[in-house]
């Protein structure tokens, strides 16, 4: 079986598995990788960029090496190759859990239980929930759904289309390392620099595809493109900016503004300033848009892999 078909069938099966099962409550492969990365950090940590780069290389490189080895073990069996791709896709994508957590916060807000919403919010993002009122929590959820659609779904599918199972695993490893050490705290400002920069590079294509697909699948394509072009560059993250701006325009809402992380207040630029303030009902709209974007990303990634394989085959034809 050709590699493009292996990816298409395996990725579709893995995405279906995520849709039906979500993430496992215990024994998640990404959590196991996080524990291993934490153990490596305890050995290597120094307040130095070079040691942080070594940490990134050991953890991400090790994950990719294991994926390459697994792929070689099953390459003679099309069924096993599809199964491995399906398992890897299911392990690295998290669209169903993302939607479940967002809806849990939205349900608490709809019931008027702001305290329960604050308690649940850390499952989605690292903001200080006590500093947010109901409207602020709703905005944080929509922004998290937008950003994690790229990080937890689209980006992985893009790299899976490029490099198969090693691409799927490598992208999730890099993204996980960024979440663990890539922030600008005193401990990780230098040590996490390499992980943060590598995540920026790895996330670039998935973020742009997410922004495009949000414009296509949202209710206001022109508004999404307009917000993307006008406001994405103002965001401090080169990848979250296009995604959040496109989601804001597609949903007709206003994102960005003041937020708090670990006691540190940030004043971020407003995305889609012509939109209205986020409402609780917009959480469900964002989750549905995220689901449509994920399905479109699967189709685009599979078609892209098919096209590249076909062109490569023609190039080898005498």
Separation CA 52–CA 40 (nearest Å): 11
pTM for the full model?
0.94
Report pLDDT for 150: 97
CA 185 to chain centre: 22
Q: What percent of the chain has pLDDT over 90?
A: 82
pLDDT in tens, 111-129: 999 999 999 999 898 888 8
CB count in 10 Å sphere of residue 194: 23
pLDDT at 178 over 80: yes
pLDDT in tens, 76-95: 999 999 999 999 999 999 99
Report pLDDT for 80: 97
Q: Are 268 and 236 in contact (CB under 8 A)?
A: yes
Separation CA 168–CA 187 (nearest Å): 29
Report pLDDT for 287: 98
Report pLDDT for 147: 96
Report pLDDT for 307: 86
pLDDT at 61 over 60: yes
Q: Look-up: residue for tokens 């949202």?
A: 218
- The average pLDDT across 177-189 equals 93
Radius of gyration of the chain (CA): 20
Lowest-pLDDT range of 30-39, 108-117, 124-133, 240-249: 124-133
């Amino acid at each position: 079986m050709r590699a493009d078909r292996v990816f298409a069938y395996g990725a579709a099966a893995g995405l279906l598995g995520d849709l039906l099962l979500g993430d496992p409550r215990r024994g998640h492969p990404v959590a196991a990788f996080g524990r291993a990365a934490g153990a490596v950090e305890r050995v290597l940590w120094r307040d130095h960029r070079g040691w942080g780069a070594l940490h990134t290389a050991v953890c991400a490189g090790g994950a990719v090496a294991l994926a390459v080895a697994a792929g070689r073990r099953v390459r003679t069996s099309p069924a096993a190759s599809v199964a491995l791709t399906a398992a890897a896709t299911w392990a690295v994508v998290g669209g169903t859990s993302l939607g479940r957590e967002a809806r849990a916060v939205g349900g608490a807000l709809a019931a008027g239980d702001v305290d329960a919403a604050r308690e649940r919010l850390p499952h989605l993002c690292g903001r200080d929930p006590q500093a947010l009122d109901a409207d602020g929590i709703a905005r944080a959820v929509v922004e998290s759904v937008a950003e994690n659609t790229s990080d937890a779904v689209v980006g992985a599918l893009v790299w899976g289309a490029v490099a198969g199972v090693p691409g799927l695993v490598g992208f999730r490893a890099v993204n996980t390392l960024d979440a663990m050490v890539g922030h600008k705290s005193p401990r990780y400002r230098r040590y996490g620099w390499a992980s943060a920069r590598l995540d920026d590079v790895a996330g670039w294509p998935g973020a742009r595809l997410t922004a495009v697909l949000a414009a296509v699948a949202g209710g206001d394509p022109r508004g999404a493109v307009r917000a993307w072009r006008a406001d994405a560059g103002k965001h401090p993250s080169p990848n979250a900016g296009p995604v959040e701006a496109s989601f804001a325009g597609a949903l007709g809402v206003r994102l960005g503004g003041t937020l708090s992380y670990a006691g540190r207040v940030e004043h971020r630029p407003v995305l889609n300033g012509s939109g209205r303030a986020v409402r609780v009902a917009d959480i469900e709209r964002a989750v549905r848009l995220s689901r449509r974007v994920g399905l479109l990303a699967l189709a685009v990634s599979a078609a892209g892999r098919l096209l590249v394989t076909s062109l490569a085959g023609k190039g080898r034809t005498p």
